[in-house]
A and B are shown apart, each in its own frame.
Chain A
Amino acid sequence: MAKRAAPEVNAGSMADIAFLLLIFFLVTTTIEVDSGINRKLPPMEESEEDVVIKQKNIFTVLLNGKDQLLVEDDLMELEDLRAAAIEFLDNGGDKSCSYCNGEKDPSSSDNPDKAIISLKNERETTYKQYIAVQNELVAAYNELRNKRAQDQYGQSFTEMQANYKDVNWPGNKDKLKEKIDQIKADYPQKLSEVQ
């Protein structure tokens, strides 16, 4: 018997098929990385003993139903909140904080470890405004931490955190973690929300 060669399959329509699939994936794809402000909620069980906190160590931020901002009993615009929060946190009133650059005003917070920001909002407050305020307060902490990291280690705090998350970063991660924790301890994020 004569051997018959198998007929060649026509691959001309391959491009069409590939295009079809390509268009499908183009349409369905959503390249989105979720990002946002991370928060930790306080646990449910109430601590029995009342912790006494001096009034001067509390920075009250009040958001009313009309999205107006009342900071330490004064009306304030959102633009000024970050600076006011930094001034409060970095005050260092009892002079125990060697790295604070504040005014050391005895009527304001003692040191960053004791300073607490208390945020209260009403039910009618819009989510947008709430996030804006949260963002500004987190920014205040980040700015202080960045400055502290820059002074101590010559790089900003956000950079250090990015390096820590980066799998390709060549340095020593344990040491970096230690440094990050140190900065975090220098300016602990004490942001309480009143229900």
Chain B
Amino acid sequence: MSKFKKKKSGALPAISTASLPDIVFMLLFFFMVATVMRQNTLMIENNLPFADQVEKLDKKDLVMYIYAGKPSENYKQYGTEAKIQLNDKFADVSEIASFIAAERASKREELIPFLTTALKVDSDANMGLIGDIKQELRKVNALKINYTTKKGSVLGRD
């Protein structure tokens, strides 16, 4: 009769880890799909202001980014005044026109009217600089702009 008696061990069976790669792959694919590589290395402080009446900026390929702010810790030698950054380097206000032209040239012609310029400006920058940028943009007829902000309340935050 002892033939049919099952061996009973008290220990719990080990949990199989065979499906661990599957789980990891699943996560991997999610992040691979969701990832957006940073195009520009910021050389400036870029602490965006808060606003709550925001609209989403979709169609990433139709956006030109202009950054502005104080040079960050590693670039102290450029002074403490707010500066403009285009692509990967500091730029002068007069270089905006050529930047816009280059961006436009890289897009298909029929998409050019839909291009938006996103201004990513540090909260502590002066409006003088922004005014200059806006004036340059008007000159090259890039009239659609977006003040990129973080979502949050305007009041009571500093």
Contacts and interface: CB of A to CB of B under 8 A. Distances in A.
B148 A40 contact: no
Interface stretch (B86-94, B107-115, B121-129): B121-129
Interface stretch (A87-95, A106-114, A124-132): A124-132
A123 interface: yes
Interface centre among A39, A78, A128 (most CB of B within 10 A): A128
B24 A15 contact: yes
Contact of A123 (B118, B123, B126, B137): B126
Contacts of A18: 21, 24-25, 28
Contacts of A130: 127, 130
Contacts of B126: 123-127
A132 B35 contact: no
Interface of A: 11, 14-15, 18-19, 21-22, 25-26, 28-44, 63, 78-79, 121-128, 130-132, 134-136, 138-139, 142, 165, 195
19 contacts: A28-B37, A28-B38, A32-B36, A36-B147, A37-B53, A40-B144, A63-B127, A123-B127, A124-B127, A125-B127, A126-B125, A127-B49, A127-B124, A127-B126, A128-B124, A130-B130, A131-B123, A131-B154, A139-B53
Given A19-B24, A35-B54, A131-B50, 11 more contacts: A15-B20, A18-B21, A42-B138, A43-B138, A127-B127, A128-B124, A130-B127, A131-B49, A132-B154, A135-B51, A135-B52
Interface of B: 17, 20-21, 24-25, 27-28, 31-32, 34-38, 49-58, 60, 63, 116, 118, 121-128, 130-131, 134-135, 137-139, 141, 143-149, 151, 154-155
